[in-house]
Structure 1
Amino acid sequence: MRRATKIGLTVAALAIACAAAGWALTSPNRLSAEELAALPEGNAAAGERIFWAGGCASCHAAPQASGEAMLQLAGGVELESAFGTFVAPNISSDPDHGIGGWTASDFANAVRRGVAPDGQHYYPAFPYTSYSRMSDRDVADLFAFMQTLPAAASDAPAHRVSFPFTVRRGIGLWKRLYLNEQPQVALSGASEEAVRGQYLVEALGHCGECHTPRAVTGGLETDRWLGGRPNITPAGDIANWSETDIAYYLESGFTPDFDSAGGRMAAVVRNMARLPAEDREAIAAYLKAVPPVESQAESEEAAD
């Protein structure tokens, strides 16, 4: 009886220890008090550039919105995935339905850590794994600009996901694998322009979220950075494009072969066209400087 009691107590202790470890590992990792204190006062005028570079309107404006309606961030765009359908929420300045009641600290934790003001994890359909690399200045400026935009007094539809993905606590473990602030690639000997482009692509533009293959867990396969479909590395689908070609495409949507951007890329071009020319040129310089990745189809043929 004593032996059975000891075994039972040992099992109970292990269960409690595992539960405590799991709770700790899945807990939200917010920015520190020191990091939040370092946030500067935001400049709304400067924040408009960050808004377009970050593609905020592409997901958070109403579906098919154009013109001034792009600044009405009521949400509603649906993002389909293997884990369910995620719906972009209202991030307008409305205090009840949007983020009008947030502080700059709330916004910084959401953008760079994927944590809501109430401590809940956001789904990584919100590309905070890229935004985690944003500078304090750009975070503050973006928040200041977004507070100037119209309020929308409505809620977007709920996400449509099934168990176990409804248990958001588990995202804490996923973040430990995929959320960091380090550059995705090392640019040895790259120009200052390419280095600036790296920030625009890897952080603000979050280009890798669409152009990098994903593992079954939904995380990016960073060893194939930007080598997805389409592959936008120097060995991929734009291998024959010059930096001028890339910059012009980002401004106009026209390829060197006189084709035009379609699908979600059309929205990206509308955003990129609002940036200064030097930003598009920096992006082009970075895309020519990243390590080449062989296209997946070519890799499969070589394996055969």
Structure 2
Amino acid sequence: MRKAIGIVVLAAIAAAGAGWVLTAPKRLPEARFTGMTGDPAAGERVFTAAGCASCHHAPDASGEDKLVLSGGQRFASDYGTFVAPNISPDPENGIGDWGLADFANAVMRGVSPSGQHLYPAFPYTAYAHMRDKDVVDLWAYLLTLPASETPSPPHEVGFPFNIRRGVGAWKLLYMSDDWVMSDVPDAQLERGRYLVEALAHCGECHTPRDGLGGLDTSAWLTGAPNPNGRGSIPGLTPDRLDWDAGSIAYYLESGFTPDYDSAGGHMVAVVENFAKLDPADREAVAAYLKALPAGGAMD
């Protein structure tokens, strides 16, 4: 009996050890960005497409104050309320004392400079597809923005979701280098995929989630409940959004639908960002959405 108990205990210890190793934060290779120099002007375009200010400016900020990334906006979910942190260049309360590698690991791997898993309310599962040059350019641009001394408020997340190591297990299930739309036959669709699946992270709101909070990519962009519990977010697949490509591109520029309605909620910020991009980018997004299969399933 003692031998059997000993075997069980050893097996439990081995399983716990394996789980600890498997859920450890996985950083990018140390030398990946060595020698790369960012272009702030190009980084501004990445910043706009990625909607960084939309989440990280202070609540109710307007105009130029939206470039002060002091954080504080609250995002309710089934797992608690996440609060956007200060990502301004302030060295004490923002990210001004980070290096490029720290920033890249946060954006592309969801790992903080101290080695903690970041919560996936920060859409690093989408940003994981970003091109290295875009990450470097974005970092260069962020360093040109105003610093804010506002401390980052803590997230309001209870047990067991406040156990950061559990996010490592979540990443094993949902972090992937694979694109949802694997076949892009031309440059326009490739650009559209990059904007939708990576920079603009459209799937984060427009795709339903499973019981563990991961995106159900078999129903990609088919719509989802609003995380704050009020209403739903519409689907973007052709069977749910029957606008032609020109109407989609115009909506992303103006916020007006073919029925003369206008964007509301968080889409106001999305349109505000897309309106600043090149027309070709809006057309690429429209082409991507029109190329989606009905029902969202890619296979």
Is the 8 Å Cα contact of residues 256 and 263 (structure 2) preserved in structure 1? yes
Is the 8 Å Cα contact of residues 187 and 290 (structure 1) preserved in structure 2? no
How do 1:37-56 and structure 2 match up within 5 A?
Answer: 37=34, 40-56=36-52
How do 1:1-150 and structure 2 match up within 5 A?
Answer: 4=2, 6-37=3-34, 40-150=36-146
> 1:293, 1:62 → 2: CA distance?
37
Letter in 2 for 1:292: A
Letter in 2 for 1:54: A
> 2:101, 2:30 → 1: CA distance?
9
The alpha-carbon deviation at position 214 of structure 1 amounts to 0.5
Deviates more, 1:139-148 or 1:176-185: 176-185
Q: 1:233 aligns with which of 217, 237, 262?
A: 237
Deviates more, 1:275-284 or 1:125-134: 275-284
TM-score normalised by L of structure 2: 0.93
> 1:155, 1:182 → 2: CA distance?
36
Report Cα offsets for 1:126-162 as digits up to 9, x if no partner: 0001000000000000000001000000113211111
How do 1:246-265 and structure 2 match up within 5 A?
Answer: 246-265=248-267
| Percentage of identical aligned residues | 57
The alpha-carbon deviation at position 294 of structure 1 amounts to 7.1
The alpha-carbon deviation at position 12 of structure 1 amounts to 2.8
> 1:17, 1:116 → 2: CA distance?
27
The alpha-carbon deviation at position 65 of structure 1 amounts to 1.4
Residue 207 of structure 1 corresponds to 202
**Is 1:242 matched with 2:244?**
yes
> 2:137, 2:79 → 1: CA distance?
33
Instruction: Give the number of the structure whose alpha-carbon radius of gyration is greater.
Output: 1
Letter in 2 for 1:148: T
Question: Cα gap change, 1:22/1:48 in structure 2, threshold over 3 Å: closer, same or farther?
Answer: same
Residue 212 of structure 2 corresponds to 217
Q: Which runs of 5+ in 1 are unaligned?
A: 296-304
Letter in 1 for 2:146: P
RMSD: 1.5
| Count of residue pairs brought into register by the alignment | 288
SS at match of 1:86: strand
> 1:12, 1:194 → 2: CA distance?
54
Q: 2:172 aligns with which of 145, 170, 176?
A: 176
> 1:27, 1:99 → 2: CA distance?
23
Residue 284 of structure 1 corresponds to 286
The alpha-carbon deviation at position 187 of structure 1 amounts to 3.0
> 2:186, 2:115 → 1: CA distance?
40
